[in-house]
Amino acid sequence: MSRPVVALVGRTNVGKSTLLNRILGERHAVVDDSPNVTRDRLIVPVTWGGRDILVVDTGGWGLDAVSELQLKVKHQAELAIAQADVIMLVVAAYDGVIPSDQEAVSMVRAAGKKCVLVVNKVDHALHESLVSDFHRLGVDSVVSVSALHNRGIDELMDAVVAKLPPAEPPASYPEGSIRLAIVGRPNAGKSTLLNALLNDERAIVDATPGTTRDPLDAELVWQGRRLVLVDTAGIRKKSHVTYGVDYFSVLRALQAIDRCDVAILVLDATEPATAQDVTIARYVREAGRGLVLVVNKWDLVPPDHRDAHRDWMKRKLDFLSFVPLLHVSAKERRHVKSVLQKAFEVSRAREMRLSRTAVDAAIKESVERHAPPMSGTRRLDIVWAHQDDVETWKFVLHVNDPALVPSNYPRYLEHDLRRQFGFHGVPLLFEFVPAGRRPRRKEAAA
Tell me: do 343 and 423 sit in the same domain. Answer: no
| Helices and strands (DSSP H and E) totals, the chain | 12, 17
CA distances from 42 to 185, 240, 367, 368 (A): 17, 13, 38, 41
Q: Give the separation between CA 20 and CA 78, rounded to whole angstroms.
A: 19
Tell me: do 124 and 193 sit in the same domain. Answer: no
Tell me: do 64 and 137 sit in the same domain. Answer: yes
At residue 250 the predicted structure's pLDDT band, cuts being 50, 70 and 90, is low
Q: Give the separation between CA 214 and CA 259, rounded to whole angstroms.
A: 15
Residue 383 lies in a domain: yes
Task: Give exposure, 392-413, as e/b (b: 16+ Cβ within 10 Å).
Answer: bbebbbbbeeeebbeeebbeeb
Tell me: do 360 and 346 sit in the same domain. Answer: no
Q: What percent of the chain has pLDDT over 90?
A: 43
Domain end among 163, 197, 222 = 163
Residue 389 lies in a domain: yes
Q: CATH number of the domain that 373 lies in? A: 3.30.300.20
Tell me: do 369 and 327 sit in the same domain. Answer: no
Tell me: do 420 and 296 sit in the same domain. Answer: no
Task: Give pLDDT tens digits for 91-141.
Answer: 999 889 998 888 888 888 988 999 999 999 999 888 889 999 999 999 999
Tell me: do 243 and 371 sit in the same domain. Answer: no
- Residue pair 431/396 in contact (Cβ under 8 Å)? The answer is yes
pTM > 0.75: yes or no: no
Phi-psi category of residue 103: left, alpha or beta, with phi > 0 → left and psi -120 to 50 → alpha: alpha
pLDDT at position 34 is 39
Tell me: do 331 and 201 sit in the same domain. Answer: yes
pLDDT of residue 245 exceeding 50, the answer is no
Tell me: do 25 and 158 sit in the same domain. Answer: yes
Domain end among 350, 380, 409 = 350
Q: Smallest Cα–Cα separation from 336: which of 258, 229, 235?
A: 229
Tell me: do 247 and 334 sit in the same domain. Answer: yes
Q: Smallest Cα–Cα separation from 267: which of 205, 309, 215, 214?
A: 309
Give me the number of domains the chain comprises: 3
| 3-class DSSP assignment, residue 172 | coil
| 3-class DSSP assignment, residue 434 | strand
Domain end among 315, 350, 385 = 350
- Residue pair 83/76 in contact (Cβ under 8 Å)? The answer is no
**Residue-number span of the structural domain to which 405 is assigned:** 356-444
